[in-house]
Amino acid sequence: MKHPIDYDDWLGYLDGDLDQIRTARVREHIDHCSECRSTWNELLEATAALRSAAREYAAVHAVCDDEVRSGRERVLARIRTLESPSTLESVAAGELTVGRLRKLQHVVAPVGGARTAFRLIVAAAGRTPVPQGTAAWRIFLEQLTDLTSALCGRSMARLVWEIGNSLP
């Protein structure tokens, strides 16, 4: 016997996605063909069993609120690391050129360490409100001098201010 139902009809019929004409054709064939009726019953049972087994499996592997919270915190920490500047190039803008920033980093690094020098520059740049403006370099230097004074002492801060002002 020829069976006019293909896999697309079977799936659509199981999912309830077929249009009225195809639904009627499949239903009519199943009513008259015992072989397809048996296939239909098996597929129906398998689909229901699969849905229920998938739900059961998912319930066992559910995560609790604490796990979601700690996972979220870890990812946010990674995002913040990503977004914090990692090079002088990412801080440089307008009058705050890479060359100028690098020279100041070299001034502070022997006393405070390269990492601290970098962080001071990033922090000072962050406190400079208009990096593109003409007064930006002066504001940046004031901020950097203040921060250097707090971390590395007054002498170092004075040195930063003087060198910073003499830079071309």
Partner 1 sequence: MSTASDEKERQAIAGFLSEPTEVRFCALFDAFYGRLCRYFAARDVDRSIAEELAENVMFQVYRHVAQLRDGMSFHGWLFQIARNEYLQHRRKSATSLQTVPYEPLAGRLAETLDSGIRQEAEGPFREWMTHMDETEREILILRFMEDLDYPEISHVLGIPVGTIKWKVFNAKAKLAAVVGRRTAKSK
**Contact, 26 vs 18, CB < 8 A?**
yes
Tell me the residue type at 71. G
66 is a site residue for partner 1 (CB under 8 A)? no
**Contact, 148 vs 156, CB < 8 A?**
yes
Binding residues among 129-168 for partner 1 as defined by CB under 8 A: none
3 is a site residue for partner 1 (CB under 8 A)? no
Which of 155, 67, 150 has its CA nearest to residue 107?
A: 155
Helix%, strand%, coil% for the chain, nearest 5: 75, 0, 20
Q: Provide the minimum distance between the beta carbon of 123 and partner 1 in the complex, in angstroms, as a whole number.
A: 21
Smaller CB distance to partner 1: residue 66 or 168? 66
Instruction: Output the six-digit token pair for 36.
Output: 């397809």
Residue pointed to by tokens 């009513």: 31
Q: Provide the minimum distance between the beta carbon of 30 and partner 1 in the complex, in angstroms, as a whole number.
A: 15
1 is a site residue for partner 1 (CB under 8 A)? no
43-51, 96-104, 108-116, 155-163 -> range binding partner 1 (CB under 8 A): 43-51
Of 68, 135, 150, 167, which one interacts with partner 1 (CB under 8 A)? Answer: 68
Strand partners, 30: none
- Residues lying near partner 1 in the complex (CB under 8 A): 7-8, 10-11, 14, 42-43, 45-47, 49-54, 56-58, 60-63, 67-68, 71-72, 74-76, 78-79, 82
